[in-house]
A and B are shown apart, each in its own frame.
Chain A
């Protein structure tokens, strides 16, 4: 299903503009995402992150500027772009009335794959949902829904995946599960563009981070580059207290061990 590999960045955005009536949401957005990398678009609520994702996933037309995904123009080659992408929107877009397995089979059929049942079973196993596969998605916990949602996005192995605020509204454990899934994706060579309002999420996952503010990208770089924008660190002695997250995860018993990556970071400014 994947389209032929094209040279150049996986996502290429230049001068993107979009207004809703008088409200100028995007005022000239430029960025590139290298193949196989994780790119985080960081911004507060209403910064226009979702608008960028909707334009890139062909759901919305830009007023000006160009955007290319996998070497294909989102405005003129929308149908081909849709072959190359997968969108996981802000709210887990699963069919609540269908079972987890039926959701996966549905997407596999719509992607015109040969053996939808096998594709579904493989993904259920990969996302630890095999036991819940026959249950209606409406009975799933937030983390399970998100995992199912991301599993649905992987069907057909699209080379580029958009994750719009993948962990908003999730509890810390579910959040770590999602992070793990995203890391595995990138390890397999998928390009991931994720939007988030959580600074630590960008810090944990992204190869590059861009900050979208008032319709423009105000900084774009690796975490190390962004840190250099501030004066050099000075040494202060601070008593090391466990974060509330550490306490929570210890108490509820994070058996999966997936939490290791998220445990030793310093407390952040997010809520």
Chain B
């Protein structure tokens, strides 16, 4: 590891965090869609949805948080794409710095930006009546799962960020990710879905992650869901990381 790796990453992280703080609109845009869905589902559809829980906002929140991350990482790809196209990426690569710090700075920025969006969404949920009696440990576990999920999707976002030819191409990959929670236990229990849909819903990553987060803050025993959720997150993280790093090496060789 290059001796400048930490210092260079910190410098470049400072740079891209300025990009985030100077375009607060990206954080607002990231949070607006999930908040709109939260309002729509709680105040319009929620009354008619039978989840077997008292508060629909409590039921809905984990899925909304995943949607927040899925739309947030589109900006990660966008920021990386902009660096690639503007030539500043090449400038950094031709300088005597730890080369991988360019990528890590983007990844860490993605974590920070998504964390801010997640906090904004949780605050809105609190205003809408979201309540949890869960302790610090359970919340730390929730935060941990969300960070792991963000990290996995961030490394996935790095791939289009590096390879896309157009701005639309850089962010389009996030649309399917935003819709994945709809075919899961995020909005409604999976019991009423027809066979094949239900089979898909129950075996895709979102359901286990949503269930694990929901169980944690409603102080239910988490069962096997949390391990399946962690396995999905870690698996996705490892695969995305390997592919992203391969793409990166091809780009800079």
Name the B residues within 8 Å of A96 (CB-CB). Answer: 86
Residues of chain B in range 66-124 having any CB-CB distance to chain A below 8 Å: 86-88, 90-97
Task: State whether A110 and B90 are in contact (beta carbons under 8 Å apart), knowing that A61-B253, A97-B18 are contacts in the complex.
Answer: no
Q: Is A85 a contact partner of B94 (Cβ separation < 8 A)?
A: yes
Residues of chain A lying within 8 A (CB to CB) of residue B88? 93-95
Residues 74 to 129 of chain A near chain B (Cβ within 8 Å): 79, 82-83, 85-87, 89-98, 102, 106-107, 109-112
Report how far A89 CA is from B11 CA in the complex, Å: 22
With beta carbons under 8 angstroms apart, the residue of B15, B91, B97 that contacts A87 is B91
Whole-angstrom CA separation of A96 from B90 in the bound complex: 15
Q: For chain B, give the interface size range.
A: 20 to 34
Tell yes or no: A58 within 8 A of B by CB: yes
Q: B95, A110: Cβ atoms under 8 Å?
A: yes
Contact residues on A (Cβ < 8 Å of other chain), bracket: 20 to 34
Contact status of A110 and B8, CB under 8 A, knowing A89-B90, A93-B88: yes
Q: B7 to A95, Cβ gap below 8 A?
A: no
A-B contact number at CB 8 A: 59
Across the interface, do B93 and A98 meet the contact criterion of CB distance under 8 Å? no
The B interface, classified by DSSP as helix, strand, loop or mixed, is: helix
Evaluate contact between A89 and B18: CB separation under 8 angstroms: no
Q: How far is it, in angstroms, between the C-alpha of A95 and the C-alpha of B87 when the chains are bound?
A: 9
- Are B87 and A90 in touch, CB under 8 angstroms? yes
- Chain A residues with CB below 8 A from B93, complex form: 58-59
Q: How far apart are the CA atoms of A59 and B86 in the complex, in Å?
A: 15
Q: How far is the CB of A116 from chain B (nearest CB, A)?
A: 9
- A107–B252 CB distance below 8 A: no
Complex interface: chain A residues within 8 A of B220 (CB): none
* A91 contact from B19, B87, B94, Cβ within 8 A: B87
Distance (Å) between the CB of A2 and the closest chain B CB? 11
Which of chain B's residues has its CB closest to A87's CB?
B94
Most central of A57, A96, A109, A111 by chain B CB within 10 Å: A109
**B90 contacts A59, CB within 8 Å?**
yes
User: Does A194 belong to the interface (CB within 8 Å)?
Assistant: no
Residues of the A chain whose Cβ atoms lie less than 8 Å from the Cβ of B87: 89-93
Among B7, B87, B97, which residue has the most Cβ atoms of chain A within 10 A? B87
- State the majority secondary structure of interface residues on A: loop
Complex contact A59–B94 (CB within 8 A): yes
Any chain A CB within 8 A of the CB of B50?
no
Using A89-B91, A97-B19, A97-B22 as known contacts, say yes or no to A110 and B86 having CB atoms under 8 A apart.
no
- Flag whether B53 is at the interface (Cβ < 8 A): no
A85, A93, A111, most chain B CB atoms within 10 A: A93
* A152 adjacent to chain B (CB < 8 Å): yes
Bound: A57/B250 CA distance, A: 16
Asked if A110 and B11 sit within 8 Å, CB to CB, the answer is yes
Known interface pairs A82-B95, A93-B91, A110-B95; A98-B86 also in contact (CB < 8 Å): no
- How distant is the Cα of A60 from the Cα of B250 in the complex, in angstroms? 10
A256 → B minimal CB distance (Å):
27
Closest chain B residue to A60 by CB distance? Answer: B253
Q: Would you give the shortest CB distance from A58 to chain B, in whole angstroms?
A: 6
Q: How far is the CA of A63 from the CA of B75 in the complex (A)?
A: 36
How long is the Cα–Cα vector from A97 to B97 in the complex, in angstroms? 22
Q: Please tell me if the beta carbons of B94 and A58 are within 8 angstroms of each other in the complex.
A: yes
Q: Are B7 and A112 in contact (CB under 8 A)?
A: yes
Note all chain A residues with C-beta closer than 8 A to B95.
82, 86, 107, 110-111
The CA-CA distance from A152 to B101 in the complex, in Å, is 19
Interface: B4 (CB within 8 A): yes
Question: Measured between alpha carbons, how far is A93 from B102 in the docked complex, in Å?
Answer: 15
Interface string of A54-70 (1 = CB under 8 A from B): 00011111000000000
CA A89 – CA B92 in complex, angstroms? 11
Bound state CA distance, A90 and B97, in angstroms? 21
Chain B's closest residue to A162 (CB) is: B94
**CA–CA, A219 to B253, complex, Å?**
30
B96 lies within 8 A of A82 (CB):
yes
CB-CB nearest 6 A-B residue pairs = A93-B87, A87-B94, A93-B91, A82-B96, A57-B94, A89-B87
Given A93-B87, A110-B97, 14 more A-B residue pairs with CB atoms under 8 Å apart are A58-B94, A59-B93, A59-B252, A82-B95, A85-B94, A89-B90, A90-B87, A91-B86, A91-B87, A93-B91, A97-B22, A109-B11, A110-B11, A111-B95
Q: A residues within 8 Å of B by Cβ?
A: 57-61, 79, 82-83, 85-87, 89-98, 102, 106-107, 109-112, 152
